Structure 1
Amino acid sequence: MNKVKKLFSNSQFKNGNYSALLIVVVIAIVVVVNMLVRQLPGSMTNLDMSDTLIYSIGDTTKELLSNMQKDVTVKVIAENGSVDSRIETFLQNYADSSSHITVEYIDPVLHPSVLTEYDVSEYSLVVECAETGRTKTINFGDIIVYDQYSYYQTGTATEQEFDGEGQLTSAIDYVTSDNLKKVYLLSGHDESSFSTAVQDLVDKANLETASWNILTDGAIPEDCNLLILYAPTKDLSDDEKNALTEYVNSGRNLMILPTVTGEPLQNLTALIQEYGLQLTNTYVGDEERYYQGMGSPYNFFPTLTSSSINVSSDAMLFVSAVGGMTQVEQPAADLTIEPFMTTSEQGFVLDPDTQDKKEGSNGTYLLGATVTKTIDENTSGKLIVLTATTLIHESITSSFRNLDNLDEFTNMLTWYFDDTSNISIPAKSLEIPYNTFVSIGGWSLLFIGIIPLTALVGGFVVWLKRRKA
């Protein structure tokens, strides 16, 4: 009997008892912590480790969600277990970020009527706001975008972009907005048309677009919130010029993107001059900020002035073969002119006769300016003249993905409206990034070589000493 008592009272038993108790306590703590963590929203517990942060919600979306007053339901129309995990995670982040957002999953196999009810196909999101009665559909193919060119080259379509935030934020803004805007594109002068990338951003900004010809369709519609004349190559008629002047002078919104043509467009030039700006009607270059990779001063990075229209004063924009303008010496007293994009002081104009730099033309030329015409205390007409028309040309926006050209243009569109902000969010790349090491610096050598090698040597020495002991 005494031997048994000694067995349970010796130090080994006490140490073992203490260890067992400690293990139980630690396990209990882990279980409790795990239960608490599971109650936290996914946005706090799931770290976005993707290369381009495809799951993260940006500041534009955060501001939209924080100001939401209406409830929105996102219905995922897909067979159970077939939704891409990236889409599921992204949707959960939205639901965790706002109590006004609810995500529902509906299996069309079990509930086939949902397809006809919302007139959608399988693998779609239906964003719905009961208060406004609006719905918007997003196809999965518009969220995870594939490079179709790779299919023709290799037989396999590769993932190119993840546009979850751009599509969903735009849809939420659309279904909850009280006042949607309509934009008309003026036609009849061999104008250019928006590229797919530009049209996508306009659509994301929830600006409905339509075409209008003043001569054949008549007076500018009353529901026109913004009229755009994009790179016309034929001149306005006298009637069209007068109609546009009356349109702006009645307190409405106009955007003109003039391009350089063989012969100056007299009526268009005169219309712009009425609002305090004089077109150069020839190309401008920049000997200070030109892109040396192209070797021509007519391909350059514009200078942005301090303006609410700009993405930021240090945003990177690039243009090629654009015209310029100057401000008239004595604009009308009711005009407020604010340049937002210029050349540097080393700008110049092309002499159309010699096809070379015009002598004595060095100086700063305007590439973009806003004009506000005050009608009365409560009414003003707004005009943007952007001679840098290639800012949104597909050859530039598709070749230089790191530019802010499209963001800048979207800011111009929303500048006209006090109740509209730029919620157009570009898609995020899914292409595999590659790290390029120009040279191995001191810090790289320390973390890649010295520290791992020291750890290996130290571990080997400790192992060797214990083995001999």
Structure 2
Amino acid sequence: MEMKKANQNTQKNKKYTLMAWVMALLVLAVAIPLNLLAEQLDISWDLTPNKLYTLTDATTNLLDSLDKQVDIYLAEPLENIAAEPETSALYLALLQYDSYDNINLVTFDLEREPELANSLNPDGVFNLSEGDFLIKCGDMVKRIPGKMIYQYEYNDAGDVTAAYFRGENYITGAIKTVSEGTMPGVYFLTGHGEAGKEGYSRLCTNLANYNYTSADLNLMTADAVPEDCKIVLIAAPTTDITEAEKEKLEAFLDKGGNISFMMSPNEKPVRYKNIEDLMLEYCLAMRYDRVYETDTSQHISNDPYTFMVNLVSPADEDQPDMTSGLQTSGLVPYMRNCRSLYSVFGSNYAQLTMGTLMVSNNTAVGEIYGGTDEDPEETRGQELILAAYAMDPTRNDSKIVVFGDGSFMSDDYVSSEYLAVPTFLFLSTITWMYNSDIDMSIADKEKTYDYMLLNSESEANSILYLFGAAPLVVALIGIAVWARRRNS
């Protein structure tokens, strides 16, 4: 009787064992062909919660409607991106862009293929670096710096804790920009002693890198500010504009246009009445002076007119922030040959968004310089405003920026290490007045990094046991139980 029962149990165990093996073989029989088929058909599934590796509907809708050839040039070999886990989102995104008929992806090595780099950048207007993108459609070219593709967060130890893929928003926006054939224009006003575009060629190169076109503008002959103009630069005029020019510029501001005034000191007895009128509409004004520093530790040796300045943080969170990044850069800000500015309480003062960007130390003095005031006075014992901005929401958010000098951005001084901070500040004001990037409202896609902080060797050993030895012990116990029961 006992032998019969043992035989029954043995047959039962064999039956269950056979069924387990059959199920395992069936799983393998299904899984292996499916994997081979997926590999042959190049099928993949994005199982990330935020679809990190899949183009958004905003991108695919644009690409589906694209009727022009767009070339995406990447100044880095594709295999470099494919080999790095940190750039997997960019790599897969580029493959998806390239799968569309009207998109042509070209990757190249800057050092090994200089001919291609030169053909894309014949005038040297783009400062190409490894990882940069050029998006091209016909004659329209838009540059995307490689450093903009990802944004990283770090912990106190300097380890990456999170990475945000931002590339899709920029690349898709650039495709839309070049395919539509419009780039924002920055125009240099001429006809009043200004150097014009020719005297600011390095600035024009920087503007091209920020994806703006640049040209001269003579409003004495032009009927109006051109339609593609987003910013007018009035750079170091030596005479005033005419009443007719002022009216054209006011019409430009009424439509949401922007003006950057770079008002270098002028020793001649010249009054800029019409230019001042434009500034006063935004409650800003300028003095007819030239600032120098009385503290020898705050200016260049033997040059009190090239002096240290201070950047000003926004007064509240509603104001634009153009200075905080420069304040933490470690660079010492200087300014040169500068006049001072001040604000005026006009009837629309409460409606404006206003702010100061740069001031002197209170040891600086504004000495009388040029102008036509009958009884001028020096300004001393206070911080002097050297750069300011204002925006008028009642005029379609038109904006003005005023710098007390224009020479710091000219070809003669723009490369000076002393003037690096005001140079970057000026470029930040350009972006604030009109951002050349089209925002496709594609949210940043986060890739998180898991890490574990171990405080001691014993804690590390405990973790190793928990995740290493413990599963092995459980497996051994399972094998022992199975061995004892297989013949029971």
Indicate the TM-score class for this superposition, using the shorter chain for normalisation: 0.5 to 0.7
Q: Say whether residues 1:180 and 2:183 are aligned partners.
A: yes
Residue 339 in structure 1 maps to residue 331 in structure 2: no
* Equivalent residue for 2:193, pick from 181, 190, 209: 190
In 2: Cα distance, 1:317 partner to 1:66 partner? 42
Quick one: distance in 1 between partners of 2:337 and 2:311? 18
Kindly state the Cα deviation for residue 267 of structure 1 after the two structures are TM-superposed: 2.1
Q: Give the alignment partner of residue 94 of structure 2, picking from 101, 105, 117.
A: 101
What is the deviation of 1:125?
4.1
For the pair shown, which has the larger CA radius of gyration, 1 or 2? 2
Partner of 2:214: 209
* Separation (CA, whole Å) in 1 of partners of 2:82 and 2:211: 20
Counterparts of 1:182 and 1:237, CA distance in 2: 23
1:415 to 418, 432, 442: 432
Letter in structure 2 aligned against 1:176: I
The CA distance in 2 between the partners of 1:407 and 1:222, in whole Å, is 27
Report the CA distance between 1:413 and its aligned residue: 0.6
1:313 aligns with 2:327: yes
| Identical pairs, percent | 18
What is the DSSP-based 3-state SS (H/G/I as helix, E as strand, rest coil) of the residue aligned with 1:217?
A: coil
Report 1:30-429 matches (<5 A).
69=59, 74=72, 92-93=80-81, 97=87, 98-99=90-91, 100-101=93-94, 104=106, 123-125=115-117, 137-138=120-121, 163-164=129-130, 168=134, 171-172=143-144, 175-178=174-177, 180-193=183-196, 194-261=199-266, 262-263=268-269, 264-288=271-295, 291-307=298-314, 308-310=321-323, 311-315=325-329, 316-330=332-346, 332-333=348-349, 334-352=351-369, 361-375=380-394, 379-400=396-417, 403-417=420-434, 420=437
Residues 373 and 288 from structure 1, CA distance in 2 versus in 1: closer, same or farther, beyond 3 angstroms? farther
Give the secondary structure class of the aligned counterpart of 1:384: strand
Per-residue CA deviation, residues 60-93 of structure 1 (Å, 9 max, x unaligned), is: xxxxx999958885569xxxxxxxxxx7569945
Larger deviation: 334-343 or 66-75? 66-75
SS of residue paired to 1:229: strand
Q: 1:368 and 1:295, CA in 2 relative to 1: closer, same or farther beyond 3 A?
A: same
Gaps of 5+ in 2: 1-54, 64-69, 96-104, 136-141, 145-170, 315-320, 371-375, 440-488
Structure 1 stretches of 5 or more lacking a match? 1-64, 77-86, 107-120, 127-135, 146-161, 423-469
What is the distance in 2 between the residues matched to 1:67 and 1:319? 47
Letter in 2 for 1:181: P
Paired AA for residue 389 in structure 1:
G
SS of 2:121's partner is: strand
Which secondary structure does the structure 1 equivalent of 2:348 belong to? coil
Quick one: which amino acid aligns to residue 348 of structure 2?
A: A
What is the alpha-carbon distance in structure 1 between the residues aligned to residue 409 and residue 133 of structure 2? 21
Helix, strand or coil at the partner of 2:241: coil
TM-score by length of 1: 0.55
Counterpart contact for 1:289–1:300, Cα < 8 Å: no
Cα separation, 1, equivalents of 2:296 and 2:387? 17
Q: Secondary structure at the match of 1:326?
A: strand
Relative to structure 1, the CA distance from residue 388 to residue 122 in structure 2 (aligned partners, 3 Å threshold; closer, same or farther) is closer
Instruction: After TM superposition, give the deviation of residue 206 of structure 1 in Å.
Output: 0.8
Q: Secondary structure at the match of 1:414?
A: helix
* Deviation by residue 1:176-212 (Cα, 9 ceiling, x = unmatched): 2436312222121121235333221100111011222
Residues in 2 aligned to 1:286 and 1:418: alpha-carbon distance in whole angstroms: 35
Deviation of 1:105 after TM superposition, in Å, equals 6.8
| TM superposition shift of 1:361 | 2.8
Letter matched to residue 389 of structure 2: T
Question: Which structure ranks higher in relative contact order (CA pairs < 8 Å, sequence separation ≥ 6)?
Answer: 2
Shift of 1:175: 4.5
| Equivalent-residue separation in structure 1 for 2:335 and 2:346 (angstroms) | 29
RMSD value over aligned CA atoms?
Answer: 4.1
